[in-house]
Amino acid sequence: MMKRTGVPNREDIDSILPTAERLAQGPVAIVECFEKIPCNPCYTACQFDAIQEFEDINDRPIIDFAACTGCGLCISACPGLAIFVVDQTYSDTEAVVQIPYEFLPVPEVGEEVLALDRSGQVITKGRVVKVKETKKMNLTKVVSLAVPKELAIEVRFFRREKRHG
């Protein structure tokens, strides 16, 4: 139970995933927001009307996956850092996960990292393919990680392989 562990379970995740068909079409936002809290900047950030207008500020966001282009603007707008964009079409074997990142040092493109799941376990290796950092993102960087396709739904953080003293 997420209230005890802070980690969403299978049921929680399935409730917010787009369909396999949609995932196979291209980049799409996965909004891992499971709790009703007073918050709506994801709606304000979306330029494609892919997030439904909030009737009540405590509502959980409702995503129109058809309208979502996976542009990723919502990733840095979310105060909870709970939004990820997954692109299953990156290659035959790999998908790319866009992850919000607010730490130093910022990883470099091409760097290989350890990819972690929602409970902080290392589940695979990832490769940094892009690092986005614009004024509009207000210091929340977005790191794009290439990982084995079947793990794109699980990888939600990463760690450098080198351990610093």
Q: Which two tokens stand for residue 97?
A: 């996960």
Of 44 and 93, nearer to other proteins (C-beta) is: 44
Asked if residue 7 binds other proteins (CB under 8 A), the reply is yes
The nearest distance, CB 13 to other proteins, in angstroms, is 11
Which window, 14-22, 34-42, 65-73, 123-131, contacts other proteins (CB under 8 A)? Answer: 34-42
Asked if residue 82 binds other proteins (CB under 8 A), the reply is yes
What's the rounded Cα separation, in Å, for the pair 17 and 30? 6
Asked if residue 34 binds other proteins (CB under 8 A), the reply is yes
Close Cβ partners of 138 (under 8 Å, ≥ 6 residues apart) = 76
Which window, 14-22, 62-70, 76-84, 88-96, contacts other proteins (CB under 8 A)? Answer: 76-84
**How big is the chain by its Cα radius of gyration, in Å?**
15
Of 89 and 140, nearer to other proteins (C-beta) is: 140
Of 104, 102, 84, the residue nearest 152 (C-alpha): 84
CB atoms within 10 A of CB 126: 28
What's the rounded Cα separation, in Å, for the pair 133 and 58? 29
Residues of the shown chain interacting with other proteins in the complex, contacts defined by CB under 8 A: 2-8, 32-41, 44-45, 56-58, 77-82, 102-104, 116-121, 138-140, 156-157, 159
